[in-house]
Chains A and B, each alone.
Chain A
Amino acid sequence: DTAVSQTPKYLVTQMGNDKSIKCEQNLGHDTMYWYKQDSKKFLKIMFSYNNKELIINETVPNRFSPKSPDKAHLNLHINSLELGDSAVYFCASSRVDSPFSYEQYFGPGTRLTVT
């Protein structure tokens, strides 16, 4: 009965490759997010989708492309991977009832290592 799941949990790949991370939530939430947590532990939002529509797009290289086939899924595709992309990527979801309701549920994370 996992609430927010991500696959894979670990991803080791070489520079220049293209890879995807998948995320699914079974909470019935309408908003999903991708975050990046770097080696200094800062957790920063990358993208947010509400009912399959992109609503937040931070200053992220366009090598990163999110895709939301339905409101329960938000995948992240990364082209031409670079060493600096190594981080933990967290998916999250929330049910935004009002502008002030922001409890987010996070997936277990995908630890990406680019060599």
Chain B
Amino acid sequence: RKEVEQDPGPFNVPEGATVAFNCTYSNSASQSFFWYRQDCRKEPKLLMSVYSSGNEDGRFTAQLNRASQYISLLIRDSKLSDSATYLCVVTQGGKLIFGQGTELSVKP
């Protein structure tokens, strides 16, 4: 079983749509949680941290359920510029463990 699992997609959605990504992690000792974004042929960049209480940054909402070992990212009112791969990331033993990423393509 992979340490961090995501649906690789691709998710093809029209502009303005709401899209949700899910992620599960296998190690209950994981301490911190993040969503990173990676554009095609570019480096990953931190999108947002994920807290147990849930957190929002503009059109983006991240949630964490430690009991289910489940992390989600919701994007509202999708823009063309949101097209990218979204990487679920957890920390274990001082390391970042990346999921495979979920590819999002927002169409006009």
Contact = CB atoms under 8 A, between A and B. Distances in A.
Interface string A83-115: 000000010000000011011101111000000
A44 B44 contact: no
Interface residues of B, number: 19
Nearest to A55: B94
B57 interface: no
B32 interface: yes
Nearest to B98: A43
B96 to A, nearest CB: 6
Contacts, number: 42
B73 to A, nearest CB: 17
Given A100-B31, A102-B32, A103-B46, A43 B87 contact: yes
Interface residues of A, number: 19
A106 B34 contact: no
Nearest to A4: B43
Contacts of B69: none
Given A42-B100, A43-B87, A102-B32, A48 B44 contact: no
Contact of A106 (B43, B85, B91): B43
A104 B96 CA distance: 9
A41 B32 contact: no
Contacts of B96: 45, 102, 104
Contacts of B8: 41
A93 B100 CA distance: 21
Interface of A: 40-45, 48, 55-56, 90, 99-100, 102-104, 106-109
Given A106-B43, A108-B43, A109-B43, 5 more contacts: A99-B31, A100-B91, A103-B34, A103-B46, A106-B45
17 contacts: A40-B100, A41-B100, A43-B44, A43-B87, A43-B98, A45-B95, A45-B96, A48-B95, A90-B43, A99-B31, A100-B91, A102-B32, A102-B96, A103-B49, A106-B44, A106-B45, A107-B43
